[in-house]
Amino acid sequence: MQLPDPAWCITQNSWEPAHQRHSETIFTIGNGYLSTRGVFEEGYPRESRATFLHGVFDDVPIVFTELANIPDWLELTILLDGEHYCLNMGEVLFFERSLDLRNGLLTRRVRWRSPQGNITLLEFERFASLADSHTTLLRVKITPENYSGTVEIHAGINGEADNEGYKHWEWLGQAAHNGSLWLHTRTRASQIELAAAARLSLKSQSDIQMESWNVHNHPTLVRRTALRAGESIEIEKVVVYYTSRDTSHPLDAARQHLAELPNPAWDSLWRPHQENWEKEWQTCDVEIEGDPEAQIAVRFSLFQLLIAAPRQDEHVSIGAKTLSGYGYRGHVFWDTEIFMLPFFTYTQPAIARNLLSYRYHNLDGARRKARANGFEGAQYPWESAATGDEVTPTWVPHFADRTKMVRIWTGDIEIHISAMICYALCQYWKATGDDHFILHRGAEIFFEVARFWASRAEWNKEHSRYEFHDVIGPDEYHDHVDNNAFTNAFARWTLQNAIRLYSWLTRNHPDIAATYCEKLHLMPAELQQWQDVAEKIYFPYDPQTGLIEQFDGYFQRRDVDLQALEPRSESIQSIFGIEGANLTQVLKQPDVLMLAYLLPELLDERSLQANYDYYTPRTDHTYGSSLGPSIQAIMACRLGKQEDAYEHFMRAARADLRDVRGNAGDGIHGASAGGVWQAVVFGFGGLHMDQHGWHIVPRLPSHWKRLKFHFTWRGHPYLIDLPNHGPFSSEAQDDSRVSL
């Protein structure tokens, strides 16, 4: 047997029920259509069993809508000589689970002694096909070591799947006969139909007894056979899913698709699946020599982004927790555009295009939100799902006392999200040169968002300037603040760039400019107004000190010595309480530094240093937001603070693998995964773009021997190879090989 390659495989050597939810997240597999958490086939109490399929949202109280956990394809009950295979009983003699990031194959080898003393070797494998995204497969090899007896397998599709107790599915029909089964079901409110068709095959040297149990909402296939000590049987379960989002007849599609698969299907599906994965990694792999932990953590992050990335669907996006857990209910935040999207923009622009198209298709939801709030244009929701309407819950149970409810204001006043979408559009446009997308989709978003900002700005008569009151910036420890620098700067940036875009259109594509003028009733006077607002937006910058005040009155808040609170294992918000943290200067994430990262032209070196020095010791790096550390790492790189950069980077890299915040069980921190890629490529690799194209100023951590990464610029793939000759050495740059 081949040992798992530590540069590519995440491996677990013991069964740890206490960390079950965490490892279920880590061992998630997927293919951009659906993802399945790393639960065991046989099922255990307190597991968080889930398969999520992009776009299958259904209504739910309080959080409005959530991704519905779909009927489970993994379920497999194994009876060994009459005893249930279950790790809670008997004794686990050997356990190893491994996820191969090269190809998304999840394997588990278990030697198990049953309560009666029978020892069996069970070898499980599963994958969600990247070449045939509707199809998932698992197989198990069972070898009794010290006994001969019967093996009985029950393989069903369970229509009773729920979201931690909440049921989304209503039964439409089912059948189980002749070696296969199907289940047809529908979400209760959104009325999305789903069909699953499954087949079970078994290779054995003895006779096989076949049965089908047509249990309501749980069709099941049963096989029985005899086994002698040392002999093996192989079982394969193949499941095909279609929904009414894919086709108007999902049941026909699923049954036909299954019927067309060879029996058994594994070998013929494995090869194209593996080839597709090879192609994926060819465009985006990152190699780090000299730091095995960073190496595997980076590949793990990229794998998580890849398995969540919609390849065939431009009406869905990646939620904050990808498709890997119940956290945030599948809702989409700015995490996608600012943290995850750059990875796709620079390695797989077609996926970035799909993700941006999701925002285009949901423009009407954003228009509705703006209108409902008394503004013009489009105000994108802080949390988004199927329609682009706001789905942030207004109240949620308090994290420390679940009998109390907490008002969530982000959906009302965390408004920078709309600018973030425009920012991501611009980044995509620059990197790809995809004029067509901007002409036919991006421009409309831009103009409508600019309109929103112009109508949201408030004129301050006393100071003759525009201001934005009552907002929340990226640092959510502070709400209801005025003139958050990040928000104001991005309102100005959007308006300025919308004007530039408009004049580019009128110069180069006057017919399209005219179409927008007509469709959106865009008049020269309105553009003039945008110009006026943009010029007069207040930006809280002190030229004397070079400091940006995060929001009005921030410097007057209580200063807290965070060092004095160490060691700690919880966030500042849980130590001081929501109101208490609001009164301090402690940040959940580095608001001003994020601004400086995204708009580097805003601050000169002196000012960047001043802001870094001021805000860094006031940020809750470990237990605040998982979005912060990667950005903090990039800013440290820019200031030449390699050691600090590495510390922040590893904080991001470990977010899920080491469950730093104790909540990885809720799903992968997708923004952190995307931030890890940015920290490597834009931070240590020093890739940056300007009007002349791309440049590299590498700043590798001293112990990294080499960094290699790929990116795509204007349709050309590049491989950057940076051997490390020490910090900032000119040789490091001269020696770097760039190949096409």
Site residues, ligand IFM (CB under 6 A): 320, 333-335, 474, 476, 625, 627, 671
Taking the complex as a whole, the smallest distance from the CB of residue 211 to ligand IFM amounts, in Å, to 47
Cβ partners under 8 Å of residue 293, min gap 6: 650, 653
Question: Is 334 among the annotated ligand-binding positions?
Answer: yes
C-alpha–C-alpha distance, residues 4 and 26, integer Å: 16
Q: CB of 475 within 8 A of CB of 482?
A: no
Whether residue 193 lies in the annotated active site: no
Q: CB of 367 within 8 A of CB of 703?
A: no
Nearer to ligand IFM, 118 or 573 (CB): 573
Question: Is 430 among the annotated ligand-binding positions?
Answer: no
DSSP letters of 693-704?
Answer: EEEE-----TT-
Taking the complex as a whole, the smallest distance from the CB of residue 55 to ligand IFM amounts, in Å, to 19
Q: CB of 57 within 8 A of CB of 67?
A: yes
Helix ranges (DSSP H) in 333-442? 334, 341-347, 349-361, 363-372, 410-413, 417-432, 435-437
Using alpha carbons, select from 57, 665, 79 the residue that is nearest to residue 315. 57
Q: Give first-to-last CA distance, the chain, whole Å.
A: 37
Q: CB of 156 within 8 A of CB of 75?
A: yes
Taking the complex as a whole, the smallest distance from the CB of residue 399 to ligand IFM amounts, in Å, to 12
Neighbours of 628 (CB within 10 A): 28
Question: Is 532 among the annotated ligand-binding positions?
Answer: no
Taking the complex as a whole, the smallest distance from the CB of residue 476 to ligand IFM amounts, in Å, to 5
Nearer to ligand IFM, 40 or 423 (CB): 423
Nearer to ligand IFM, 334 or 486 (CB): 334
DSSP letters of 471-540?
Answer: B--S-TTS-SBS--HHHHHHHHHHHHHHHHHHHHHHHH-HHHHHHHHHHHT--HHHHHHHHHHHHHB---
Q: What are phi and psi of 187, to 5 degrees?
A: -70, 145
Cβ partners under 8 Å of residue 347, min gap 6: 283, 284, 710, 711, 712
Nearer to ligand IFM, 619 or 625 (CB): 625
Taking the complex as a whole, the smallest distance from the CB of residue 625 to ligand IFM amounts, in Å, to 4
Half-sphere exposure of 401 (CA within 13 A, CB side): 6
Taking the complex as a whole, the smallest distance from the CB of residue 411 to ligand IFM amounts, in Å, to 12
Nearer to ligand IFM, 383 or 467 (CB): 383
Question: Is 395 among the annotated ligand-binding positions?
Answer: no
Using alpha carbons, select from 583, 645, 574 the residue that is nearest to residue 612. 645
Nearer to ligand IFM, 136 or 384 (CB): 384
Taking the complex as a whole, the smallest distance from the CB of residue 64 to ligand IFM amounts, in Å, to 16
Q: CB of 38 within 8 A of CB of 27?
A: yes
Nearer to ligand IFM, 243 or 625 (CB): 625
The single residue of 96, 337, 390, 476 carrying the catalytic annotation is: 476
List the binding residues for substrate.
334-335, 588-589
Residues with a known catalytic role = 476
List the binding residues.
334-335, 588-589
